[in-house]
Amino acid sequence: MMMNRRFLADANELCRLDVGELTAGFSSGKFTPLEVAQATLARAEQVQERFNAFSLIDVDAALAMAKESTARWRSSAPLSGIDGVPTTIKDIVWVKGRAVRYGSRTTSSTPCTLDAPSVKRLRAAGAVLIGLTTTPEFGWKAITDSPLTGVTRNPWNPKMTPGGSSGGAVVAAATGAGVLHIGTDGGGSIRVPSSLTGVVGLKPTFGRVAAYPPSAFGTVAHIGPIGRSAEDAAAMLGVMAGRDIDDWNQGVGELPPLVLREDVLKDAQIGLWTPYGVVDSEVAAVVAKAVTLLDDLGAHVEPIELPGEDLGETFRVHWYSWSRQPLCSGAADLGHLCDPGFVAVAEAGARILASALVAAQLRRAAFGAAMDKLLTKLDFIVSPATAIPAFEVGPEIPSDVILDWGINAGSFAFPINLSQQPAVSTPCGLTAAGLPIGLQFVGARGADAKVLSAARDFERASP
């Protein structure tokens, strides 16, 4: 589903094309990767001025990569199906030769000496890396502002937040400042902003995409693709995915290949995840219409409740405990330079007892096993991607919402980080004020292709 976006319509035509359209144009000679890169870089400058989505627009490097891609396409020797496609990297994932700052004034401006595995794979596939996108400090919250880069704004309404922590990535995706975008998701940081800006974002099965260096947020932290369609996200994931020996957390098993299938919603058994926390009335109404569409597509949808107890507390203990790590690893005397909210969470994490963390880890293991069992009976779980639509920049949660972000607006995201299944947010409608609402599909671990196929089927059927 491609919603009508004024802010995308004013982009150069080359910036509005998807992966398939770009590679078809490269192959036929209708246009070149260099021409697309030039248009995308110009668009990125416009987007940066309006919405502050980038911490770096890497003009010289992007043009050099695009020239090399152009030569390959002219020789009919592209490296992959995304060769020449403009791509951004969240400023939390290492890029060789660039200073990755994690949105923090406490980090080093020394360039990284190597690429993270996902970036290495994208580079080897010929993707044109146009820059780094904004994040809150160390990706700690579900909105995007930081002491280093300031406030990132939602292109649907610049008074509103795009969510976070992959806020710059989703803004770049929505506005045509790149086609493929790396995000990270430790508690909803891909799916929440994708929902609030009307793009597609996948948190893959944990281990599908290798991570190095390891995240301070441990095994709830995932790296995944963001784009304007499920097919683009799938094309990106197919390149990023795979084993990397530097990622010890990844394990040695092989996950099923990424092949999208047709009509996966027909006769699918779907559990409708009932509200956990407070759901905005407009979100509930739009998601109810989406469920009707799933019925029309032949799915069998029944309400369910997720297994497990104290999920909010279980996640809080994990997240707060790990939030202390960045300050313990060299920035402790620089806390005055940090986001006060991040410092408060890190200090709360320092007070969590080891026994409480162990108890939370045991609850998490029981919940993860119960989710695996549930998804042997169901093809998918669906839910709102977020419980509320976008709200004004500034606060971490709207003043009229009583519960905090972790157990309210992100309540449909963080449990799936605990259990590590693939989950995608895809647009399903708009509020009366014209703000996007996302629908989340969750599948069994390893079923990333099936989840993306469901999102694609839903996109095609949506008005």
What is residue 272's predicted lDDT score, i.e. its pLDDT?
A: 97
Sequence-ordered alpha helix ranges (H) in 334-447? 340-350, 354-377, 414-419
b (16+ CB within 10 A) / e for 209-244: bbbbeebbbebbbbbbbbbbbbbbbbbbbbbbbeeb
- Structure confidence at residue 308 as a pLDDT band (50, 70, 90): confident
Question: Does residue 210 carry a pLDDT above 80?
Answer: yes
Does the pLDDT at position 353 exceed 90?
Answer: yes
| DSSP H/E element including 398 | none
CA distance 48 to 174: 13
- Predicted pLDDT of residue 397: 72
Residue 246 is encoded by which pair of tokens? 């530097």
Helix or strand (DSSP H, E) at 410: none
Tell me phi and psi for residue 133, to 5 degrees: -105, 155
Mean pLDDT of 69-89: 98
Evaluate whether 8 touches 176 at the Cβ level (below 8 Å). yes
3-state SS, 161-176, equals CCCCCCHHHHHHHHHC
Q: How far apart are CA 171 and CA 173, in angstroms?
A: 5
Tokens of 211: 């991570």
Classify the C-alpha dihedral 241-245-251-256 as positive or negative.
Answer: positive
Cβ atoms within 10 Å, residue 246? 14
Look at residue 1 in the predicted model and tell me its pLDDT. Answer: 39
200 and 427 in contact (C-beta within 8 Å)?
yes
Beta bridge partners of 182: 89, 225
Report the C-alpha gap between 9 and 12 in whole angstroms.
8
What residues are labeled active site? 90, 165, 189
- Inter-axis angle of helices 117-124 and 230-240, nearest 10: 100
Q: Find the distance separating the first CA and the last CA of the chain, reported in whole Å.
A: 7
Q: In this predicted model, what pLDDT tens digit does every residue of 135-154 receive, in sequence order?
A: 999 999 999 999 999 999 99
Tens digits of residue pLDDT in 361-409: 999 999 999 999 999 999 999 999 999 999 999 887 776 654 454 455 5
pLDDT-derived band at 269 (thresholds 50, 70, 90) equals: very high
pLDDT in tens, 12-33: 999 999 999 999 999 999 999 9
Percent of the chain whose predicted confidence (pLDDT) is above 90: 86
Q: Name the architecture of domain 6-250.
A: Alpha-Beta Complex (3.90)
Instruction: State mean pLDDT over 88-116.
Output: 97
Question: Can you tell me the distance from the alpha carbon of 149 to that of 126, in angstroms, rounded to the nearest whole number?
Answer: 29
What is the pLDDT confidence band of residue 3, given thresholds at 50, 70 and 90? Answer: very low
Q: Residue 403: what pLDDT?
A: 46
The rounded distance, in Å, linking the Cα atoms of 241 and 227 is 16
Strand 128-133 relative to strand 86-90, pairing: parallel
Name the one residue in this structure whose structure tokens are 């590679």: 23
CB 37 within 8 A of CB 87: no
Amino acid letter, residue 253: G
pLDDT band at 7 (very low <50, low <70, confident <90, very high): confident
What is the rounded average pLDDT for all residues in the chain? 93
- Structural tokens at position 312: 């909010």
Tell me where in the chain the CATH 3.90.1300.10 domain(s) lie.
6-250, 269-461
pLDDT band at 276 (very low <50, low <70, confident <90, very high): low
Residue 125 corresponds to which tokens in the numbers above?
A: 């596939």
Stretch 181-206: mean pLDDT, rounded?
98
| Per-residue pLDDT, 92 | 98
- What dihedral do alpha carbons 83, 86, 91, 93 form, nearest 10°? -10
- CATH architecture of the domain covering 269-461: Alpha-Beta Complex (3.90)
Q: How far apart are CA 358 and CA 318, in angstroms?
A: 10
